Structure 1
Amino acid sequence: MAPVPLPHLNNTTTRILSLLNTSTSLPHLRQIQAQLILHNLLNDTTIAHHVIINASHSPLLLNDIAHILFSTQLRRPHVFTCNSLIRAFSHSQACHHIPLSIYIRMQKTNVLPNNYTFPFLLKSLSDSRELKHAQCVHTHVVKLGHLGDIYVRNSLLDVYASCGHVGSCRKVFDEMPYRDVVSWTVLIMGYRNCGRYEDALVVFERMQYAGVVPNRVTMVNALAACANSGALEMGVWIHDFVRREGLELDVRLGTSLIDMYGKCGRIEEGLAVFRSMKERNSFTWNAVIQGLALAKSGKEAVWWFNRMEQEGFRADEVTLVAVLCACSHSGIVDVGRQIFDALVDGKYGFSPSVKHYACMVDILTRAGCLEEAFKCVKVMPHEPTKTIWGSLLAGGRAHGNLDLSEFAAWKLIELEPENAAYHVMLSNMYAEMGRWDDVEKVRGMMKDRGLKKDLGCSSVELEPNESVYQFVA
């Protein structure tokens, strides 16, 4: 926010500002506020601005000030004061709705907003995912002629991206006469957040051709798109760029690289990144353990899990899911039981979620412990998910317990009656058992519901243009 020219500070204003800057408690601020109201000094934009800054840690005090500024005593507060209020509330996690209320009061009191009003107003709408209100504010931006301000445009990009309205985000982006690194980054983030990873990487490539140098946030979002689309070559290019530019691997960037290498099947490179990092947090450790789980290196994942605890990092829910998945993929049943039992006993400070139960059921069904797995499902305090029933279905088929597989298959159909794959699996099971009447029954259900078997597909990344091709059976 650009500063307004300060008026000549008289002795009274100087003393008040000094009191505000030295106040250390909420009661003290309330006493100063009472004196300001008594002597009608909140009309002074400099004083009002400093009051707002000092009250920004207290939503209740900010609410009082907002009410006073729009009371009958001050029918038309200065736009600079309103902007200060909007900015203060936009940084409060519990008050994202209030900036919009202030903006509406500005309209009612004929306070004309300027280009410094909209970025923080739109930030609050982005945080609260208020798409309809953002569209209304977008209309005001156009009517008032502030669309040429790049900070306002970037804020519009951000609110549409955060609300998952990537089409509107792209439209605003395409209409921008000038784009900076923030503009490109927000569009990449928007595509990434809605799962359009290939589109995110296309925008990232276009950014290079436009001569815009990516920043750390750009690379974190691009790496996430690489990780989820399997675009290893692009991820390696980003890593090479980081090295060429001599950028230090901070926690976010380093963790993103580890996650990308792990999901693309190059966990050794991810471990090399981990070792080169000066600072790590629990997310970094989680990325390593998840990568090892995907690589089916269960024993190594457990070793890193133990090392994580030894170095004083607290395991969270994601950590436990990752290490239990590693045990499942590698058939480490006893260690999986120990970790899960410790979780149930409260060692980690939280109760197991349905994901943890799903991992434990998967560990047991893969090992053929079907009765134990089914008992785990019956005693769990959560409703079984399709993942859990899917594990029982697969385990039952693999270990010859077709009754359990049949039971699980019907549960899956109950959960997702429009999913053709479950019907096909059940039909195939009945065919294996020679129960042809039941095969006909399931096929009839599929016909009545208009279900067709989904086509299988796979993808492969080819050089030299590093394109990802999809093949459909």
Structure 2
Amino acid sequence: MIRGCFANPMNSITNRILHLFSNCTSATHFHQIQAQLILQNLHSNTTIAHHFIAASQSLGLLDSTLTLFAQLHRPHVFICNTLIRAFSHSHIPHTPLSIYTHMHRNSITPNNYTFPFLLKSLSDFRDLKQGQCLHTHVIKLGYLNDIYVQNSLSHVYASCGHMGLCRRLFDEMPQRDVVSWTVLIMGYKDVGEYDDALIAFEQMQYAGVVPNRVTMVNALAVCANFGALEMGVWIHDFIKRSGWGLDVILGTALIDMYGKCGRIEEGLGVFRSMEEKNVFTWNALIKGLALAKSGEDAIWWFNRMEQEGFKPDEVTLIGVLCACNHSGLVDTGQRIFGSLIDGKYGFSPSTKHYACMVDLYARAGCLEDAFKLIRDMPFEPSKAIWGSLLAGSKARGNLEFGEFAAWKLVELEPENSAYYVVLSNLYAEMGRWRDVEKVRILMKDRGLRKDLGCSSVEPEPQENVYEFLAQ
């Protein structure tokens, strides 16, 4: 069948090949077509090459395109761009850059379509060095004023956490669109500079640029982490005024924002209004309920999640155990953790799950159970785990467990003076003054000193802030 089609006159071959590609569903069939392309010397045809790359991508055979590409001495820039675009979505490291290097060595001049997909691949792998090299190529070839290239460059710098470079490029842009602003906001969010992210979001409004869904998802994440409830509510109102439907991503971002800002009832309202939900949506709701210390409600929704056929993941179980923790539901937490140990959920508990259980036991005063779990866990206990045992021991007046946990924290972070101070205070409460002196000598030998206590007072609005230090 395939050989017969190549026997037809040349002017009909292209259409027949395209028809074959559109009906190609197996690797065997694909490689047969590939062989005929090479035999008939048709792989340099841009239309055929485009469909060949698309077919290889859909079948997961992108490596085959490199074999064909290597046989072309000077492929058309359109073919190069199509290859770079395909590999930029494949998450195969640095292949787009290799294609670009081949272009450069063979004097194939890139165009403004080359750089956005090439820079996307560098963003995915956070390759700052190569991004800066490409930046110089962009300037040299005269594409720096292309807004799509500028946005892609900004994304490279933002994804690498270099917000100074990202902001400088942003400020130099002669025009900015919604993507430009969104990259800036997302970059500030990812490095934890939430105040700068909110300022950028407000500046975007003043500039008259209408945000899109991606902008709002990132802005809501900033509001969630910064506690900016008022801005989060404004975004929700904007979504309603604009008539946007609540898809999974946007709805989940709203639930997460309301949960972290202490307004879980509004989050529940959003959850109920969503037609489609996924495990991330359920996780946002359960975590929000846990933060609100509504342990029973969190467990109820967790059970409903399972009843509706959603499979909990590791984050779900952390949220549920935290809910038990905050509400003192020891029996429920034990039952859920036991099911996790038994493999009910298809994965083994991580150190975070053990940390939740230790904290649950310690808060409830079940210090023996907490210590036994720490002793038997298949991981080295973390700082958070020993910290939970220390806090629970101090709250219950069990100074022996507290002493043990404090020394473990000293072992984990010998340069942290706070742990020595806690240990010294424990010995003082126990009347072990010689041990108090030993801890102070140890701190002195290690060049550590107790941090000063600090408090600030602002007597009246618009007046100076006074800071007090205590030895």
TM-score using structure 2 length: 0.92
Identical positions, percent: 68
> What is the count of residue pairs matched by the alignment?
454
SS in 1 for 2:343: coil
Which one of 53, 74, 77 corresponds to residue 75 of structure 2? 77
Amino acid aligned to 2:435: D
C-alpha distance in 2, partners of 1:424/1:88? Answer: 58
* Residues 47-446 of structure 1: pairs in structure 2 closer than 5 A: 47-58=48-59, 61-71=61-71, 74-93=72-91, 95-446=92-443
* Equivalent position of 1:19 in the other structure: 20
Contact 1:70 1:77 in 2 (8 A): no
Contact 1:261 1:267 in 2 (8 A): yes
Cα deviation digits, residues 209-259 of structure 1 (max 9, x gap): 111111111111111111111111111111111122222111111111111
C-alpha distance in 2, partners of 1:139/1:456? Answer: 48
Cα deviation for residue 182 of structure 1 reads 0.7
Amino acid aligned to 1:69: F
Cα deviation digits, residues 180-219 of structure 1 (max 9, x gap): 1111011111111111111111100111111111111111
RMSD of aligned C-alpha atoms? Answer: 2.2
Q: Which has the higher mean CA deviation after the structures are superposed, 201-210 or 49-58?
A: 49-58
Cα deviation for residue 441 of structure 1 reads 2.9
Q: Which has the higher mean CA deviation after the structures are superposed, 210-219 or 425-434?
A: 425-434
Contact 1:430 1:436 in 2 (8 A): yes
Cα deviation digits, residues 77-109 of structure 1 (max 9, x gap): 11111011111111113x132111111111111
* Equivalent position of 1:46 in the other structure: 47
SS in 1 for 2:145: coil
Structure 1's consecutive aligned runs of 4 or more residues displaced over 4 angstroms after TM superposition are 454-460, 469-473
C-alpha distance in 2, partners of 1:173/1:162? Answer: 14
Q: Which has the higher mean CA deviation after the structures are superposed, 424-433 or 109-118?
A: 424-433
C-alpha distance in 2, partners of 1:470/1:320? Answer: 45
Contact 1:418 1:451 in 2 (8 A): no
Contact 2:417 2:448 in 1 (8 A): no
Cα deviation for residue 272 of structure 1 reads 1.5
Contact 1:197 1:225 in 2 (8 A): yes
SS in 1 for 2:224: helix
SS in 2 for 1:327: helix
Q: 1:356 to 1:458 in 2, by over 3 A?
A: farther
C-alpha distance in 1, partners of 2:366/2:105? Answer: 69
SS in 2 for 1:10: helix
Matched, 1:30 2:31: yes
Amino acid aligned to 1:82: C
C-alpha distance in 1, partners of 2:139/2:415? Answer: 45
Amino acid aligned to 2:394: R
Cα deviation digits, residues 26-84 of structure 1 (max 9, x gap): 1111111111111211122222122111111355x43233233233xx21111111011
Contact 2:421 2:450 in 1 (8 A): no
Amino acid aligned to 1:55: S
Cα deviation for residue 315 of structure 1 reads 1.0
Cα deviation for residue 21 of structure 1 reads 2.0
Cα deviation digits, residues 146-197 of structure 1 (max 9, x gap): 1111111111111111121222111111111111111101111111111111
Cα deviation for residue 10 of structure 1 reads 2.2
C-alpha distance in 2, partners of 1:246/1:442? Answer: 64
Cα deviation for residue 421 of structure 1 reads 2.2
Cα deviation for residue 454 of structure 1 reads 6.4
Cα deviation for residue 459 of structure 1 reads 13
C-alpha distance in 2, partners of 1:372/1:454? Answer: 36
SS in 1 for 2:74: coil
Contact 2:123 2:156 in 1 (8 A): yes
C-alpha distance in 2, partners of 1:319/1:243? Answer: 29
Contact 2:251 2:271 in 1 (8 A): yes
Q: Which has the higher mean CA deviation after the structures are superposed, 436-445 or 290-299?
A: 436-445
SS in 2 for 1:56: helix
Contact 1:70 1:105 in 2 (8 A): no
C-alpha distance in 1, partners of 2:34/2:452? Answer: 67
Gaps of 5+ in 1: 1-8, 464-468
Contact 1:420 1:454 in 2 (8 A): no
SS in 1 for 2:58: coil
